[in-house]
Amino acid sequence: MERLVRGVRALPEGRPAWAPGVVVLAGRGPVVVAEAAAGWARRYRAYDPEADRGLELPRDQWEEMRTGTVFDLASLSKLFTAIAAVQQIERGHLVLSDQVNAYLPAFAPGISVRQLLTHTSGLAPELPFYAHRERSAQLDLLWREAAAPTGRPDTSYLYSDLNLISLQLILEQLTGRPLDALVHEGITGPLGMASTGYGPLAPPGVAATEDQRRPWAKADRGMICGEVHDENAWALGGVAGHAGLFSTAQDLAVLCRALLNGGAYGTARILGAGAVAALLDPPGLGFGIDQPYFMGELAGHGAAGHTGFTGTSLVLDRATDTFLILLANTVHPRRRTGGSAPRAAAATRLARAVVRAG
């Protein structure tokens, strides 16, 4: 595990650095085998586009990255929406083969709940909800796409935020509860994930994201810390099926452990073993399966996980009973294409350590 920790700690020191700060937490069975933080949760006050560099805060205002730092999870939020959906399926309130237009009549026939969860609905990757502040105008965008999807349903994989936003609408209609309540009551509350929830949050202890301005961003919001980074999730009120959750590596470790335990953690059970298998067996419901670009050598025998645009990632591997959480603020002070090579390298180091440990 020393190589894993050493490699992660070096990430903020690169030229260029992959991220200002990073947290890693890895576990096998009931044991946390590696946990470390490096760099800075908040270092910049703004981004200078002419000089192409961050403008630093006064040195005494830099906030050190800690293992308990709270991160904007970005698309890792999708995993919670998927779990909430599978909970309703397990209870018999929702069926994977259900037609979406039974709940959302604007949808074209032939799109199922399963296709939303497996990104095979044909819906476009995203829509400019951020350009509209009125809920009715935002929904009109979705209804137009849903009536005539960009792709043909069930013919190919097309990753789309709209799938999980649509699933959120179904869950809220089905239960009469907002998504944030469903996530708290069904997942984070029972598991004791007290540091996990939707924003806004007070900035201290939260990793900063971006000096969000056009033309590189889709909205002019300035330096963001404690509010959701994703412009569409922000426009939708901060609680969205595809983004909006904040959490810590320690809380995510609890979720990983519960899933690896067949849905239980301590005295709490959020899913049955069969429901967990539905989530994690190929092709996965909400979870990506065996994706080497961020799973490295953990991929290959059913590893499941996801990444988030802000620099977050999670991998769990039932074959070796291991998990890896890597959280970084790669978009601080502005979004860049940092790639997933550091994620894959960390996962490979964990995979090789597990092999050596037998």
pLDDT exceeding 70 applies to what percent of the chain? 99
pLDDT tops 90 at residue 337: no
pLDDT tops 80 at residue 356: no
CATH number for the domain that contains residue 143: 1.20.58
CA proximity to 313, closest of 247, 230, 259, 265: 247
Same domain, 109 and 159: yes
Tell me how far apart the alpha carbons of residues 296 and 347 are, in angstroms, rounded to a whole number. Answer: 5
pLDDT at 20: 97
Same domain, 157 and 94: yes
Rounded to an integer, the average pLDDT of 138-155 is 95
CA proximity to 162, closest of 114, 197, 199, 129: 129
Picking from 179, 211, 237, the residue at the C-terminal end of a domain is 179
pLDDT at 34: 96
CATH number for the domain that contains residue 282: 3.40.710.10
Same domain, 92 and 154: yes
Tell me how far apart the alpha carbons of residues 211 and 123 are, in angstroms, rounded to a whole number. Answer: 30
pLDDT at 357: 60
Domain that holds residue 168: 82-179
Strand 304-308 to 288-289 pairing:
antiparallel
**β-pair partners for 304:** 289, 316
**Spatial CB neighbours of 277, under 8 Å, sequence gap ≥ 6:** none
**Can you say how many angstroms the Cα of residue 124 is from the centroid of all Cα atoms in its chain?**
19
pLDDT at 287: 98
Domain tally for the chain?
2
Same domain, 321 and 218: yes
Same domain, 271 and 351: yes
Report if residue 231 sits inside a domain: no
Which structure tokens are listed for 173?
């209609």
**Can you say how many angstroms the Cα of residue 317 is from the centroid of all Cα atoms in its chain?**
17
Q: Give per-residue burial for 264-296: e unless 16+ CB within 10 Å, then b.
A: bbeeeebbeeebbebbbeeebbbbbebbeebbb
Work out the mean pLDDT of the chain and round it to a whole number. Answer: 96
- pLDDT digits 0-9 by tens, 220-271: 999 999 999 999 999 999 999 999 999 999 999 999 999 999 999 999 999 9
Same domain, 119 and 9: no
Report if residue 318 sits inside a domain: yes
Report if residue 232 sits inside a domain: no
pLDDT tops 80 at residue 303: yes
Q: Is the pTM of this model over 0.85?
A: yes
Tell me how far apart the alpha carbons of residues 153 and 166 are, in angstroms, rounded to a whole number. Answer: 15
Report if residue 184 sits inside a domain: no
pLDDT tops 70 at residue 207: yes
pLDDT at 358: 57
- pLDDT digits 0-9 by tens, 24-55: 999 999 999 999 999 999 999 999 999 999 99
Picking from 179, 213, 240, the residue at the C-terminal end of a domain is 179
Which structure tokens are listed for 154?
């069930």
